[in-house]
Amino acid sequence: MREIVFDTETTGLDPKTGDRMVEIGCIELVNLVPTGESYHAYFNPERDMPAGAEAVHGLSSAFLSDKPLFGDLADEVLDFIGDSPLVAHNAGFDFGFLNAELTLIEKEPVCTTRMVDTVALARKRHPGAKLSLDALCSRYGVDRSHRVKHGALLDAELLAQVYVELRGGRQIGLELAAEAAAAHTSRPVEISAVRKAPAGPRREPRRHVPSEAELARHRSFLAGIENPLWG
């Protein structure tokens, strides 16, 4: 099954108040395995970049000023995501901005039935635990040492690894190994030919019966035991 793990960076928290999407990063998975295919783009938001948002992702108004508008690349984005399920961390946020941008250029929003929220998956699997992407990377041993600031493509790459683990990544590997072992043990066992005893005269077996002298010494030993258990 094809799935797209994606992340967005924005000018703020709410597209209803004029905030815009400025970056998107997408990673393709097929049967929970990254294919190496990805999509990444920056967008000119046609507005200023608040200092708080820039502190999070490092994208300034000057940097974004010569980037294409979302409408210029919308068809590329839609072609890449296709009709696949879309996986995101706190997916309602990313879906909200993606659909707001599509609405602005009068394109049909992406149906939320395609939404897979890794926060919801993590909450169900680890109730009471921290659910941030950083916390989940630490839990699953995903290296995030190169993550200095938020970035849509980098965060999508990290989230793809976390998502595979949330879906039972290591257990999936164990199950495959178990299936392989079961298949191996179910194969017919080849029994090698039994080696025949060498021909020729056979030696008489050794006697292991005690001699009369040994029996006499044993009786003498027993007679010297005081209060034996056998009465």
Q: Among this protein's residues, is 146 annotated catalytic?
A: no
DSSP string, 58-127: ---HHHHTTSPPHHHHHHHHHHHHTTS-EEETTHHHHHHHHHHHHHHTT-PPPPGGGEEEHHHHHHHHST
Place of tokens 């005893």: 197
Taking each helix axis from N to C end, the angle separating 70-81 and 91-104, rounded to the nearest 10 degrees, works out to 130
Choose, from 126, 150, 208, 218, the residue flagged as catalytic: 150
For Cα atoms 55, 57, 59, give the angle at the middle one, nearest 5 degrees. 90
| DSSP run (H or E) holding 21 | strand 21-30
Written as one letter, the residue type at 38 is S
Residues 6+ apart with CB under 8 A from 54: 60
Paired residues of 2 in beta bridges: 30
Mind telling me the catalytic residues? 150
